[in-house]
């Protein structure tokens, strides 16, 4: 029993030490990315909370640039929550089809707007669990709304975030979005989370790329990045 207890204590010490190292690394990465991308923000254009909900649903397996074009036609025809909630799903699908997965996205958007109209008086709820309960809204979308619309602590684990935090050594070969999110909450200061994730998107597009070899030679993190999975 003493041996098991001793092993458990040693394991906890190792985990605590590793977490401290990752916290220090995270703080340094945050500061450097702030310098490199001072104006990072969400690349989906919106001027009301419900529009960001719509856009983030459309952005699944679609570029933000295309979503920003498609929603212009959608909002021209259905300019508010009431109009979109009352719209025929087929009419929504015809407009959003260029974003891919049109039928499922149209159904989710319609159902989501109906809930916001009927349960929240046309206003997007300022509560993470309430957002998560909306049709078509997952943790990534709920965190984006909490951070960008309501200025609350948020960590958005999109594909850029997951790839980069693994590559940098902030998490260890973990790809499941919720697991990555939970680990990042332990090492990222809450007030930094939302902006940090936006900067990861910019860095992932410009330097730490996925489809080409990353441009490590001009990376602001080259001396502290673990470069996990990057060929020499």
Which tens digits make up the pLDDT trace of 48-68? 999 999 999 999 999 999 999
> Domain spans of the chain?
49-148
Task: Measure the CA angle with vertex 206, ends 34 and 159; round to 5°.
Answer: 85
20, 87, 169 from 175: Cα distances, Å: 22, 37, 13
Q: Which residue in this structure is represented by tokens 């707007």?
A: 113
pLDDT score at 2: 54
Which CATH code of 3.30.565.10, 3.30.70.100, 1.10.340.30, 3.40.50.720 fits the domain covering 49-148? Answer: 1.10.340.30
In this prediction, residue 7 carries a pLDDT of: 66
CB 126 within 8 A of CB 141: no
- d(CA 46, CA 61) in angstroms, rounded, equals 19
Q: Is 173 a residue whose pLDDT tops 90? A: yes
Model confidence, pTM = 0.90
**pLDDT tens, position by position, 115-161:** 999 999 999 999 999 999 999 999 999 999 999 999 999 999 999 99
Residues annotated as catalytic (active site), given as ranges: 140, 158
């Amino acid at each position: 029993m003493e041996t098991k207890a001793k092993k458990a204590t040693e394991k906890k010490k190792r985990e605590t030490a590793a977490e401290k190292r990752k916290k220090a690394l995270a703080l340094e990465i945050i500061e450097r990315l702030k310098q490199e991308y001072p104006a990072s923000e969400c690349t989906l254009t919106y001027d009301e909370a419900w529009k960001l909900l719509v856009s983030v649903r459309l952005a699944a397996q679609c570029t933000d640039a295309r979503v920003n074009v498609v929603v212009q036609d959608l909002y021209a025809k259905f300019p508010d929550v009431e109009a979109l909630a009352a719209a025929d799903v087929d009419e929504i699908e015809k407009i959003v089809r260029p974003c891919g997965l049109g039928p499922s996205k149209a159904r989710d958007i319609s159902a989501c707007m109906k809930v916001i109209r009927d349960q929240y008086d046309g206003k997007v709820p300022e509560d993470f669990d309430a957002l998560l309960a909306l049709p078509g809204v997952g943790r990534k979308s709920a965190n984006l709304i909490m951070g960008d619309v309501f200025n609350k602590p948020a960590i958005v684990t999109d594909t850029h975030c997951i790839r980069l935090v693994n590559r940098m050594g902030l998490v260890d070969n973990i790809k499941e979005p919720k697991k990555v999110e939970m680990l990042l909450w332990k090492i990222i200061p809450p007030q930094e989370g939302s902006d940090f994730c936006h900067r990861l998107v910019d860095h992932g597009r410009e330097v730490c790329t996925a489809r080409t070899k990353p441009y490590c030679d001009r990376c602001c993190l080259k001396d502290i990045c673990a470069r996990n999975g990057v060929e020499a």
